[in-house]
């Protein structure tokens, strides 16, 4: 084990790797991350990325990025590029060039021919419906196809003709000849090739037959010299087929597959099919919608690579159920942002205040640092003027017990500025407060008032200096922890109607030139990020990344 990995929490996979290295079974490790380019990666994939690339880094090994591009109708270059971008953004680099299952199409074909020549694969003419009928059930053994005993010569001839496009799509498949009575349905003569005339993004129309995932994956691992093939628990029953294929072809390397529990995150979903449904039905603005659990969505929302990596470390790797509350992820992000996000002031729900005793040229502004623990972040002047914005929520005419913000006749400290007293409320025809008339204690700039204590501190902005901004307040996408738990109820039923609220607010002028993906703490409001798509000079757009505290848990309690 490397010295680096000594600081990392152990798990059963690390224990296996330690034993393999200690025994000399492997001199170094090679892992891989093998996504299908048929959608954007989500938080569950982030866990797998951190595992595979993290192990390679900790043990000074290698991790390949390999696309399983065997289903051309659902795959695209857009998805492939997004996956590469996500891996890089999370802080990892794959070994060598990007690999593709299609790189091995000719070798995969020849290995299928080898199985045919050994009498271990046959071409089957059953329809998909007949194949399902012949397969049997969990309690009833399957039965042999009437085409199972075709001769080697006939199978070889038919398979070659499948390749040349002589037969219609779906009319024939190549099946491994294993055991139709096996207790493991995956071993009941699984299909390993099907006919599908679909244009492939890398091989074009060179192939009209494509290998199945279970067949392709293990051979790709072996060709790449993978030592530890890590996948989620739903593939545990597929491991005997993984081993059977490698045991029955002439290939020098036999990787071992190990399974760990997949990540299920409360208040969201991690089904690529259902995420695609949300996109296609326009229930979200796209794969990178900041409410989505996709890596690109989390990135756009303002989550940090370090925070996501820390989340993956916190939840750990095991074979037991890995359902995690959203608060764990938000806490990891919050902790990372605490140390690196500059503090500025913004007002989301503005209420105007007129300072009645403001004296031009005499009433002063103060300098404020961008972070209390990081003086190297620098400072800026927070300008004070006769008219200021405060949060409407920070004023109440009939405050509850314990209220420490502004009320008529009460005082608060303006952050980085004076103590201010509310003297009068101006209301509209409906009785709503539209402006406050307040006065400041001119002796309280940078010091406490004499003879009294002022407990409340509120944030504010000078009306003359503040910049308008679109502020998007994101919340959880669903109203229940497990929106797809009941298969009888459409998961969209539980979409949170308040998952996005857009406000027209105000921000300090110091953020004017902020680049996309710049993160801030808006004091007292939360952590926010400039939107990487819509934010630009002249149009400031901020996404709420996470609140300062876990307010959701309190609301639900």
Q: In the listed set 433, 458, 483, which residue is the last one of a domain according to the structure? A: 458
Same domain, 409 and 330: no
Same domain, 326 and 389: no
Same domain, 452 and 481: no
Look up residue 334 and give its two tokens: 């919050």
In a domain, 228, yes or no: no
- Secondary structure (DSSP) of 67-102: E----GGG--HHHHHHHHHHHHHTT---SSS-EEGG
Look up residue 449 and give its two tokens: 């008032």
- Secondary structure (DSSP) of 272-319: HHHHHHHHHTTSSSSTT-TTSSBHHHHHHHT--HHHHHHHHHHH---S
Pairing of strands 387-391, 62-67: unpaired
Same domain, 308 and 402: no
Contacts 24+ apart (CB under 8 A), 327-330: 327/550, 327/552, 327/553, 329/43, 329/265, 330/546, 330/547, 330/550
Same domain, 427 and 485: no
SS3 call for 30: strand
In a domain, 146, yes or no: yes
Same domain, 290 and 334: yes
In a domain, 207, yes or no: yes
Per-residue pLDDT, 7: 52
Give the residue numbers marked as catalytic.
36, 262, 272
Q: In the listed set 420, 437, 458, which residue is the last one of a domain according to the structure? A: 458
Same domain, 453 and 375: yes
Look up residue 532 and give its two tokens: 């990487």
Q: In the listed set 458, 481, 505, which residue is the last one of a domain according to the structure? A: 458
Per-residue pLDDT, 554: 46
Same domain, 362 and 293: no
Instruction: Give a three-class secondary structure readout of 191-252.
Output: EEEEECCCCECCCECCCCEEECHHHHHHHHHHHCCCCEEEEEHHHHHHHHHHHHHHHCCCCC
Same domain, 337 and 355: no
Q: For tokens 């293990």, what's the residue?
A: 218
Same domain, 439 and 494: no
Same domain, 471 and 336: yes
In a domain, 19, yes or no: no
CA 446 from centre of chain: 44
Spatial contact of 388 and 461, defined as CB atoms under 8 Å apart: yes
Per-residue pLDDT, 321: 81
504: CB partners within 8 A, 6+ apart: 468, 469, 470, 471
Look up residue 426 and give its two tokens: 């101006």
175-195 pLDDT, tens per residue?
Answer: 999 999 999 999 999 999 999
Spatial contact of 383 and 363, defined as CB atoms under 8 Å apart: no
Q: What is the CATH number of the domain that holds 132?
A: 3.90.800.10
| CA nearest neighbour of 13 among 275, 318, 219, 302 | 318
Rounded distance between C-alpha atoms, residue 256 and residue 19, angstroms: 14
Per-residue pLDDT, 550: 65
In a domain, 240, yes or no: no
pTM: 0.92
Look up residue 337 and give its two tokens: 């942002």
Number of domains forming the structure of the chain: 3
Same domain, 490 and 545: yes
Per-residue pLDDT, 10: 84
Per-residue pLDDT, 537: 85
In a domain, 354, yes or no: yes
In a domain, 255, yes or no: no
Spatial contact of 271 and 61, defined as CB atoms under 8 Å apart: no
Rounded distance between C-alpha atoms, residue 425 and residue 352, angstroms: 11
Q: What is the CATH number of the domain that holds 522?
A: 2.40.240.10
Segments forming the whole domain that contains residue 203: 105-211
- Residue numbers of the chain with a pLDDT score lower than 70: 1-9, 550-557
In a domain, 83, yes or no: no
| CA nearest neighbour of 542 among 498, 509, 506, 497 | 506
């Amino acid at each position: 084990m490397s010295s680096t990995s000594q600081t990392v929490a152990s798990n059963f996979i690390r224990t296996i790797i330690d034993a393999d290295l200690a025994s000399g079974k492997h001199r170094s490790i090679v892992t891989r991350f093998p996504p299908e380019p048929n959608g954007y990666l989500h938080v569950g994939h982030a866990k797998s990325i951190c595992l595979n690339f993290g192990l390679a880094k900790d043990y000074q090994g290698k991790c390949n990025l390999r696309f399983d591009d065997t289903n051309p109708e659902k795959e695209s270059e857009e998805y492939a590029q997004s996956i590469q971008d996500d891996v890089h953004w999370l802080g990892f680099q794959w070994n060598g060039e990007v690999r593709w299952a299609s790189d091995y199409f000719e070798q995969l074909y020849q290995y299928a021919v080898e199985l045919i020549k050994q009498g271990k694969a046959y071409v089957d003419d059953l329809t998909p419906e007949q194949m399902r009928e012949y397969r049997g059930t969990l309690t009833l053994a399957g039965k042999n196809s009437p085409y199972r005993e075709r001769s080697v010569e006939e199978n070889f001839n038919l398979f070659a003709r499948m390749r040349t496009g002589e037969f219609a799509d779906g009319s024939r498949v190549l099946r491994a000849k294993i055991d139709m009575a096996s207790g493991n349905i995956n071993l009941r003569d699984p299909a390993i090739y099907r006919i599908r005339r679909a244009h492939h993004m890398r091989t074009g129309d060179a192939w009209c037959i494509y290998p199945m995932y279970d067949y392709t994956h293990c051979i790709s691992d072996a060709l790449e010299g993978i030592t530890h093939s890590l996948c989620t628990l739903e593939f545990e029953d597929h491991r005997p087929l993984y081993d059977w294929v490698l045991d029955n072809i002439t290939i020098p390397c036999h990787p071992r597959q190990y399974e760990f529990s997949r990540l299920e995150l409360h208040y969201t979903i991690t089904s690529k099919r259902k995420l695609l449904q949300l996109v296609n039905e326009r229930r979200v603005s796209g794969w990178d919608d900041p409410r989505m659990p996709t890596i690109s969505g989390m990135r756009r929302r303002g989550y940090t690579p370090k925070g996501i990596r820390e989340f993956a470390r916190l939840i750990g790797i095991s074979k037991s159920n890995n359902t995690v509350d959203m608060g764990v992820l938000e806490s990891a992000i919050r902790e990372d942002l605490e140390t690196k996000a500059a503090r500025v002031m913004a007002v989301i729900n503005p209420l105007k205040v007129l300072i009645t005793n403001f004296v031009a040229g005499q009433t002063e502004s103060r300098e404020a640092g961008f972070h209390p623990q990081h003086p190297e972040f620098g400072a800026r002047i927070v300008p004070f003027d006769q008219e200021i914005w405060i949060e409407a929520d920070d004023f109440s005419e009939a405050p509850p017990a314990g209220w420490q913000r502004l009320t008529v006749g009460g005082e608060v400290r303006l952050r980085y500025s004076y103590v201010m007293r509310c003297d009068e409320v101006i209301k509209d025809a409906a009785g709503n407060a539209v402006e406050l008339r307040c006065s400041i204690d001119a002796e309280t700039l940078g010091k406490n008032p004499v003879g009294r204590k002022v407990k409340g501190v509120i944030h504010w902005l000078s009306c003359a200096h503040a910049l308008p901004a679109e502020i998007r307040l994101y919340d959880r996408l669903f109203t229940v922890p497990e929106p797809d738990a009941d298969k009888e109820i459409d998961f969209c039923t539980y979409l949170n109607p308040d998952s996005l609220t857009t406000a027209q607010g105000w921000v300090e002028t110091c953020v004017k030139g902020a680049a996309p993906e710049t993160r801030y703490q808006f004091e007292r409001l939360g952590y926010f990020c400039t939107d990487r798509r819509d934010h630009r000079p002249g149009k400031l757009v901020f996404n709420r990344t996470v609140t300062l505290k876990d307010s959701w848990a309190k609301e639900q309690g």
